[in-house]
Amino acid sequence: MRISTRGLLRKAFAPLALLLGASLCQAETLYVTAYPAVDEIIKAAIPMWQKKHPQVEIKLVSRAFDDHHTAMTTALSTSSNLPDVMALEFSYVGRFAAGGGLEDLAQAPYRIRDTQARFVPFAFKQGTTASGAVVAAPTDIGPGTLLYRVDVLKKAGVSEAELTQSWDSFVASGVKIKATTGAFLLAHARDMKDILIRTNVKPGEGLYFDAAGKVIVDSPRFVRAFELARKVRQQKLDGKIGAWSTEWSQGFKSGNIATQMSGAWLAAHLANWLAPGTKGQWRASQLPEKSWAAWGGTFYTIPKAAKNKALAWEFIQMMTLSREMQLSAFKVRDAFPALLEAHTDPFYEQPLDFLGGQKARLLWREAALKINAIDVHKLDPIADEIINTELDKVLDQGKDIAAALADAKSLLERRARR
């Protein structure tokens, strides 16, 4: 039986208006902040909102990705210029939650846990803090995938099965690719580290900290990630190319980069603006060793100092619990739905021309349900910088891996004690 989202919204909103003392008739403006392309999804949702609340204008403030998160950091720290609804990218959720400036959506009158079963499990967990507070409602996710140049692999005599059987075979395939075509396996050896530290994460753990807050960057997971990244660099299989650089996009266009691990959203970026001229030359697969990982994701939050919390919550429910809205964002902006009800649609069966007619959305849907949730921590962004610095010392200066990870652990422990 199809669940009536409209009915759920009315039912949820009735006690909310009473508890918060909000009056829809008096409210005039709902302030929402976001970044590309989330802003376009919100703009597309405004007509639906206006049908319900013609007297309530949505004022959307959009900034570039980094500028948006910087502005919201300042707004929360000063309790000024705060929106009613704030969009956040996953990597910022832990940092913003630690500041204590976001509403706990698990508490009354929101009670988001009543709808938890309707979300992709790992996505809901991503918005939950170690203390159990739910500070962010997921709207889209980034199921991990391996994108590869099928023409380059064919020239090298490498099959998809050979490429993805294991991480060791992935690297071995890179040796063949480099020898026969001159193409790099990866843009940067760091990409290898980024995926491997996200695999085999134990329940209740984060990337860098365990459930008790202990630093775990010297665990076998990190040792293997560093070892394989070093192997990639030693065999000259990466181009030392940073993501989002001109050289990065040029490598995709020329076939100089054979593979890229990322969220499923990268396929759309390649098709639309990174390398549209390579249509039909790419394919998608699950990650090697059937690894499951996520890259990014978008969440909606309500600042504690927001003025129109009732309206903010209704807006968030519309954006996250409406199957129609979730599918529209997926079809128009390639925002993979966090809502499970939006995972059953013929759209998933449609072939992707850019990927040679492959029905890749089915792969990504499978991955979405198998990804384990990774707990967020307020020091995750700092930990990421420290680990990358130590990896660079291993790759560029020959630093011993055990020493590099020990130094990273020591630095993080000092930061955690502050």
The DSSP secondary-structure symbol of 145 reads E
Report d(CA 176, CA 4) in Å as an integer: 54
Structure confidence at residue 20 as a pLDDT band (50, 70, 90): very low
20 or 254, which is more confident? 254
Q: Please, are residues 111 and 272 in contact by the beta-carbon 8 Å criterion?
A: no
Q: What was the pLDDT predicted at 17?
A: 46
Residue 32 scores a pLDDT above 50: yes
What mean pLDDT do residues 275-281 have? 98
Contact, 258 vs 205, CB < 8 A?
no
Helix (H, G, I), strand (E, B) or coil at 200: coil
What is the residue-averaged pLDDT of the chain?
Answer: 92
Q: Do 229 and 193 meet the contact criterion of CB atoms below 8 Å apart?
A: yes
Query: How many Å apart are CA 189 and CA 107, to the nearest integer?
Result: 43
Using the predicted structure, report yes or no on whether residue 414 has a pLDDT greater than 80. yes
Instruction: Give the per-residue pLDDT at 347.
Output: 98
Amino acid in position 182: G
Total residue count of the chain as it appears in this document: 418
CA angle 93, 98, 101 (to 5 degrees): 85
**100-129 core/surface letters (b: 16 or more CB in 10 A; e: else):** ebbbbbbeebbbbeebeebbbbbbbbbbbb
Tokens in use for 210? 């365990």
pTM for this one? 0.89
Helix (H) or strand (E) holding 284: strand 282-285
Chain center to CA of 308: 28
232: pLDDT strictly greater than 80: yes
d(CA 390, CA 395): 9
Q: pLDDT by residue (tens digit) across 351-398?
A: 999 999 999 999 999 999 999 888 888 888 899 999 999 999 999 999
Q: Half-sphere exposure (CA, 13 Å, Cβ side) for 216?
A: 19
CATH number, span 5-142+296-349: 3.40.190.10
Residues 6+ apart with CB under 8 A from 154: none
CA 309, CA 22: separation in Å to the nearest integer? Answer: 8
Model confidence band, residue 26 (pLDDT cutoffs 50, 70, 90): low
- Domain range annotation of the chain: 5-142+296-349, 190-219+379-418
Q: Which two tokens stand for residue 38?
A: 């989330």
For 318-347, what is each residue's pLDDT tens digit? 999 999 999 999 999 999 999 999 999 999
Q: Residues 118, 120, 124, 130: what is their CA dihedral angle, to the nearest 10 degrees?
A: 130
Q: How many CB atoms lie within 10 A of CB 4?
A: 10
**Which amino acid, residue 237?**
L
| The pLDDT value given to residue 375 | 82
